[in-house]
Amino acid sequence: MIHRRIDVPWTLAAALLALLAVGCSKPSYIDVNYGLPEAVDALSGTRVALEVRDQRPDPAVFAGDAKEEFAYFTGIYSLTVGEGKHSHVVGTYELPGLLAEAFRQRLTNLGVEVVASPGEGIPLLEIILQRFQLEASGRKWFADVSYEAQLLDDGELRATQTVAGKAERVKLMGHSGAEKVLGEIFTDSVNKFDLQKLLNKAGMQ
């Protein structure tokens, strides 16, 4: 049997190598896509101060095979906010800043005015991050996010709300699947927060 050599144009070969490099490269940051729900003014006139505190017992973001996939991660997240068919990059943040900006966007979306500090008639909304982890195992990505929302008035704890969520996605070549599953659970977790319910529970609405 005669084996014929297949000549591939160098431009095509270069393109294939570039795609392979992109797919296999280890990223230094993570893109997080947050999807805002349709804007409503349900809480128009409400004012709150917002603070995010990282109190994770395990500060590691990656578990399982994800540790190797994100070996060069610098701790920086790029936040893209989407509303309907439109989306835009808001900025880059470390984890507490990422959550703070997403919650600010969510509250503003409800008609809430987010102010710099609490005061008379202005409660403090604290988001206590308890878990934020991305795991790769076998052929799947797993994301796990949980936090507690605390509403304080004049330093006194008035009400709490706990939100937790998990998601998974089939693992393909590259890290895009990881970013998608993280964006999905991030969106779901932030949008599950119910400020109206928290205010009612605190007797402040």
Per-residue pLDDT of the chain (205 residues; tens, 9 = 90+): 433 443 445 454 444 344 434 444 678 999 999 999 988 888 999 999 999 999 999 999 999 999 998 999 999 999 999 987 789 999 999 999 999 999 999 999 999 999 999 999 899 999 999 999 999 998 899 999 999 999 999 999 999 999 999 999 888 766 778 999 999 999 999 999 999 999 999 998 7
Q: What is the pTM of this model?
A: 0.85
Question: For residue 123, which phi and psi values (nearest 5 degrees)?
Answer: -75, 165
| Backbone Cα Rg of the chain | 21
CA dist., res. 112 & res. 14, Å (int): 51
CA dist., res. 54 & res. 13, Å (int): 46
pLDDT for 177 equals: 84
Domains of the chain from N-terminus onward: 28-201 (3.40.50.10610)
pLDDT for 119 equals: 92
For residue 18, count other CB atoms closer than 10 A to its CB. 10
pLDDT for 25 equals: 63
pLDDT for 174 equals: 65
CA dist., res. 108 & res. 179, Å (int): 25
Specify the pairing of strand 113-115 against strand 156-170: unpaired
Specify the pairing of strand 140-153 against strand 86-93: unpaired
